[in-house]
Amino acid sequence: MQSMLRDALPTSAKDAFAWTWEDYRPHYEALAAQELTPESLPEWLLDWTALSDVLNEVDSRLYVAVSVNTADEAAEAALLNFAKTISEPRAAAEQVLKDKLLASGLSTPTLEVALQSLKVQASVFREANLPRDTQIVELSNDFDKLEGAQSVEWKGESLPLSMLSPALQSPERDERQAAWELKHGRILQDRESYNALWTKMYAIRQEMAHEAGHANFRDYQYAKMGRLDYNPADVAQFRQTILETVVPVANRIYARRAERLGLQQLRPWDTDVSAYGATPLRPFEAEADLLQNSDAVFESLDPVLAGWFKQMQADGLLDLFGRPNKAGGGYCTEFRLARRPFIFMNASGTHSNLQTLLHEAGHAFHAFACFEIPVALEAQPPIEFCEVASMGMEMLCQPHLDRFYSPADSARAQIQHLESTLLFWPYMAVVDGFQDWAHTHAEGADPAACDAKWTELWRQFMPGIDYSGLDEIEATGWHRKLHIFQVPFYYVEYGLAQIGAYQVWRNSQKDLADAVTAYRAGLALGSTVGLPELFAAVGGRFAFDAATLSELAEAAEARINELLMALA
């Protein structure tokens, strides 16, 4: 029966687009009716995987269609129709299969971690929340449309905000200040729209938490995300550790930047300009240059990684440059049926764009590695480790950027990257601390209270940047972080993963080949082991105590100082 079920499924997304829930429903019913035994379990899991792969690919392709053109009303309608007519009943049907598997008591050594996560997630599943999930999808689309429509007039040309990045790096302070104020002034025009979205999303999410028996959305979301190896108290301590160990390092970086720029105070429009050379780093202009040189960087690391990246190019799976009506940010998603990843971003020729591509390529490589795992439950790594894959790739590539730069500019790029990773930890603490407060306090429903809390946390963790006279822009910084609206509580993962990425980087300084081999081995494990074992597989340790964080920050500072001496 199992092979017949798989044979009856669509073999391409094009075929699957024609299916309705009535086409999928019998397959779920057949799986729910089948007796589970040790002998039948392997084929049953493969059938479930095949069914999930079809639906996941359709979902991903519909999402991509909206993000590549936020003005495409037909694409938006298709996504929302899928969410309402298929995603909702599918979630309920999936839960039936999850409960069936858990009730069977069956397991395998490689399935155990996934089952632990399923148990936590099952504890908060409520069918009554499925329409609320759809409401969140609709509001998330509204967020994308809001940002996709934001543009400004700059030097006689209408530009989406992402295309202002080069101006923000101008060595002329007046020019970058003008660009910064123009960008943030435009975002501020939508202040009430952001607040309205937040208020609606907040209320729905609190309803979801209460429906599932939780007092607040934070605790509900921790369970829904299947976090097994840490809890809110651990994360609160992580934020405090960052305040004590990394914020002083960040303050030194900001102070050095101000000194090198000849400034008394570092203003927000002074954070992107190069402090180590007269001209901004411009690694590429045309897409062909970006791709050709990226190919060379990946070749210098590993031929398998390079081959995967070339495959994505050949299959048209890269949408890299910014344009009007394109959603903001960047991401990598998976087309599981086709066994291919897809990268989306908004490039404009800056070094940060290059880092984004390397980051998303790490996610893509992780996807390629996990496509080799036949059972979907075992092929879905914890998201904390997904970010080790992406941030680790950024770190591994740093010594090989001479494909894009002269030796001096390569050193500048490495300094810029190491500084940005150190500066990220305090920013992560602001975002995570804000979300923790907002979703555990009734005042979180009030945008004015959110403004006040964001300002408090910003000034605590980011004191090196002077926002005097920019109170409204400072207070609404939470509007400019899409994770807060679209994927709440998905942010501490970056901070935890950076600890793993730093350890991958330190190993590569000793032996690049061994570090890359370990990196690929870790990616190939999927979710067959837990976070501590995944970190160990790439040559690291899952820990975020003061000693670990201090040691890694000191190593990064030492490397920055070496590179600065080379530039002198």
DSSP bridge pairs for 355: none
Contact 115, 102 (CB under 8 A): yes
Confidence check: pLDDT of 3 > 70: no
Show the 3-state SS of 214-247. Answer: CCCHHHHHHHHCCCCCCCHHHHHHHHHHHHHHCH
180-224 pLDDT per residue, tens? 999 999 999 999 999 999 999 999 999 999 999 999 999 999 999
How many Å apart are CA 371 and CA 56, to the nearest integer?
13
Greatest Cα pair distance, the chain, in angstroms, is 74
Is the pLDDT at 172 greater than 90? The verdict is: yes
Q: Which of 241, 240, 235 is nearest to 493 (CA)?
A: 235
| Average pLDDT score over the chain | 95
Helices 217-224, 112-122: crossing angle, 10 deg rounding: 150
Q: Tell me, what DSSP letter sits at residue 161?
A: G
CB 381 within 8 A of CB 526: yes
For the record, the structure tokens of 254 come out as 């900001």
**DSSP labels for 11-58?**
SSHHHHTT--HHHHHHHHHHHHHSPP-TTTHHHHHHHHHHHHHHHHHH
| Each residue's pLDDT tens digit, 308-333 | 999 999 999 999 998 999 998 899 99
348 contacts: CB under 8 Å, gap ≥ 6 = 162, 163, 164, 165, 166, 321, 322
Q: Structure tokens of 40?
A: 């039948």
Q: Is the pTM of this model over 0.85?
A: yes
Report residue 160: phi and psi, to 5°: -65, 155
Residue 393 scores a pLDDT above 80? yes
pLDDT digits (tens, 9 = 90+) for 471-509: 999 999 999 999 999 999 999 999 999 999 999 999 999
Burial of 78 per CB tally in 10 Å (0-12, 13-18, 19+): middle
Q: How many CB atoms lie within 10 A of CB 179?
A: 24
φ/ψ of residue 504, rounded to 5: -60, -45
Distance CA 327, CA 267 (A): 28
From the centroid of its chain, how far is CA 518? 22
Q: Are the CB atoms for 359 and 390 separated by under 8 Å?
A: yes
The 10s digit of each residue's pLDDT in 232-288 is 999 999 999 999 999 999 999 999 999 999 999 999 999 999 898 778 889 999 999
Q: Would you state the pLDDT for residue 2?
A: 46
Partnered with residue 319 across adjacent β-strands are 344
Q: The dihedral of CA 238, 243, 248, 250: what is its sign?
A: positive
pLDDT band at 228 (very low <50, low <70, confident <90, very high): confident
Distance CA(85)–CA(21), nearest Å, equals: 7
Residue 234 in tokens:
């651990």
79-107: burial string, b at 16+ Cβ within 10 Å, e else: bbebbbebbbbbeebbbebbebbeeeebe
- DSSP classification of residue 432: H
Give the mean pLDDT of 364-380: 97
- On whether the CB atoms of residues 308 and 57 are closer than 8 A, the answer is no
Residues 132-164 pLDDT 10s: 999 999 999 999 999 989 999 999 999 999 899
Which among 554, 500, 506 has a CA at the least distance from the CA of 532?
500
Q: Token match 């408090």: residue?
A: 456
Nearest C-alpha neighbor of 453 from the set 443, 440, 463, 467: 443
Select from 97, 115, 113 the least CA-distant residue to 105.
Answer: 115
pLDDT of residue 1: 44
Distant-in-sequence, close-in-space partners of 216: CB < 8 Å, separation ≥ 6: 206, 209, 439, 440
Confidence tier at 420 by pLDDT (50, 70, 90) = very high
Rounded Cα distance between 420 and 552, Å, is 14
Residue 278 has a pLDDT of 72
8 Å CB contact between 405 and 564: no
The two structure tokens encoding residue 318: 């890269």
DSSP code of residue 154: E
